[in-house]
């Protein structure tokens, strides 16, 4: 039998066995976009030991690739890459020349995300539409955080770790904490935490800490809750959360002022922040006296320079004033009436008033004519007005 005949029979059998598309699950091993815009990849299934137990070539034709890839990225928040778990709607085919292949018709992004991730994305999208997603992050955190409102279960191991590390810090730093007990697991946890958030007086505390510790990832789904996320986003105090391990993430990690993975990490952050601020204050305490001394020396030197320049400046100022006085005296001397009299002019007065016009006089009045060397007293006999 010729190879073509064998492959043709195989193609017929596969075509008859899988007449309709079907959903298949597996891990994307590798993938790339070819020159024609088609996507080529390989889907595998591994055993618990990581050994590849099955593999198949997958193809997304260019006519579908752009739409499917854009929709997957929008719904999942990520691009197709090796290691992703995928659920694909495929046509099973066998070509005589190219062999066995799965032609992808659709991708179920919800399978990749999982129900929990899908719900988380929907909550975050709603918070963003409401315009409150980043409100708590925008709040300023006090430089010296000392008064802390703690929301946690009273029996949580994470609470004990947090308190032990915070109050037993190596720097001897003082913190004041107050516990607001709440359920941290189960369907009632969101309402319990919300109730405690509303009890906290923002005037008494610098921040709110919500801690839980570890536990199963499924248990953390209780924190993917819109009302709780909204309450934290709009809390008047910065909220710091530490409710899981390194591998865990919840909606609260996206809306809180700061997200740290464990309660001990939260304690370490608060200790380091206060220690850093105190170190800064200590540095300032040491630097201020030296800065004051330096400033005083600078001012003393400046006063010395001013003292050296002052006599010369004063002399120049007095010289300018003396020159101005001399000019003023000259102008005053030039206006002295005695100078006019000495040049042959005279001044006539009548009854103590200065006579400027003959029309001011009457016959019989006595006038006084002042000259440079004396005065002449005359009686008005005739008044003659001469037109100019």
Residue with tokens 């009436």: 337
**Distance (Å, whole) CA 115 – CA 109:** 10
CB 158 within 8 A of CB 263: yes
**Distance (Å, whole) CA 310 – CA 331:** 32
Partners of 93 in the beta sheet?
A: 101
Buried b (16+ CB within 10 A) or exposed e, 356-384: eeeeeeeeeeeeeebeeeeeeeeeeeeee
Query: Going by CATH, does the domain composed of 147-276 fall within 3.40.50.2300?
Result: yes
Tokens of 388: 């100019």
Q: DSSP letter at 142?
A: P
CA angle 51, 52, 55 (to 5 degrees): 175
Burial classification of residue 247, based on how many CB atoms lie within 10 Å of its CB (0-12 exposed, 13-18 middle, 19 or more buried): exposed
As its CATH architecture, domain 3-107 has: Beta Barrel (2.40)
What's the pTM?
0.54
pLDDT of the chain, 388 residues: tens digit per residue: 888 888 888 888 888 888 899 999 999 988 999 988 999 999 999 887 778 899 999 999 999 999 999 998 888 767 888 878 899 999 998 888 888 899 999 999 888 877 667 788 899 999 999 999 999 999 999 988 999 999 999 988 889 999 999 999 998 899 999 999 999 887 799 999 999 999 999 999 999 999 987 655 546 777 889 999 999 999 999 999 998 665 567 899 999 999 998 999 999 999 999 998 888 877 777 777 777 778 878 887 788 777 777 777 777 888 888 888 888 877 877 767 777 777 778 888 888 888 888 888 888 888 888 888 888 888 888 777 776 5
The count of other CB atoms within 10 Å of the CB of residue 195 is 14
Domain boundaries, the chain: 3-107, 147-276, 340-379
**Distance (Å, whole) CA 211 – CA 209:** 6
Instruction: Name the residue among 184, 369, 327 with its Cα closest to residue 263.
Output: 184
């Amino acid at each position: 039998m010729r190879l073509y005949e064998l492959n043709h029979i195989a193609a017929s059998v596969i075509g008859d066995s899988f007449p309709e598309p079907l959903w298949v699950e597996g891990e994307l091993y590798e993938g790339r976009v070819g020159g024609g815009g088609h996507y080529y990849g390989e889907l595998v299934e591994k055993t618990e030991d990581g050994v590849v137990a099955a593999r198949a070539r997958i193809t997304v034709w260019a006519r579908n690739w752009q739409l499917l890839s854009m929709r997957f990225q929008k719904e999942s928040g990520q691009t197709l890459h090796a290691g992703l778990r995928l659920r694909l709607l495929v046509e099973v085919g066998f070509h005589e020349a190219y062999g066995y292949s799965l032609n992808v018709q659709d991708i179920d992004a919800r399978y990749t995300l999982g129900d929990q991730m899908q719900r988380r994305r929907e909550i975050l999208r709603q918070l963003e539409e409401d315009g409150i997603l980043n409100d708590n992050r925008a709040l300023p955190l006090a430089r010296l955080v000392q008064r802390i409102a703690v929301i946690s279960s009273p029996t949580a191991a994470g609470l004990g770790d947090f308190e032990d590390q915070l109050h037993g810090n190596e720097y001897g730093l003082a913190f004041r904490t107050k516990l607001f007990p709440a359920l941290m697991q189960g369907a009632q946890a969101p309402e319990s935490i919300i109730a405690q958030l509303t009890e906290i007086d923002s005037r008494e505390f610098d921040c709110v800490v919500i801690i839980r510790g570890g536990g199963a990832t499924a248990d953390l789904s209780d924190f993917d809750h819109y009302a709780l996320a909204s309450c934290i986003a709009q809390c008047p105090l910065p909220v710091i959360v530490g409710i899981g391990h390194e591998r865990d993430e919840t909606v609260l990690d996206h809306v809180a002022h700061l997200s740290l993975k464990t309660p001990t990490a939260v304690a370490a952050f608060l200790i380091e922040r206060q220690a850093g601020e105190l170190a800064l204050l200590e540095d300032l305490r040491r630097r201020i006296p030296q800065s004051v001394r330096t400033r005083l020396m600078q001012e003393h030197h400046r006063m010395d320079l001013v003292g050296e320049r002052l006599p010369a400046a004063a002399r120049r100022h007095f010289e300018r004033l003396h020159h101005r006085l001399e000019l003023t005296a000259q102008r005053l001397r030039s206006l002295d009436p005695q100078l006019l009299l000495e040049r042959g002019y005279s001044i006539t007065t009548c009854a103590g008033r200065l006579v400027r016009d003959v029309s001011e006089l009457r016959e019989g009045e006595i006038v006084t004519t002042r000259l440079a060397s004396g005065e002449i007293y005359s009686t008005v006999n005739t008044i003659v007005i001469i037109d100019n």
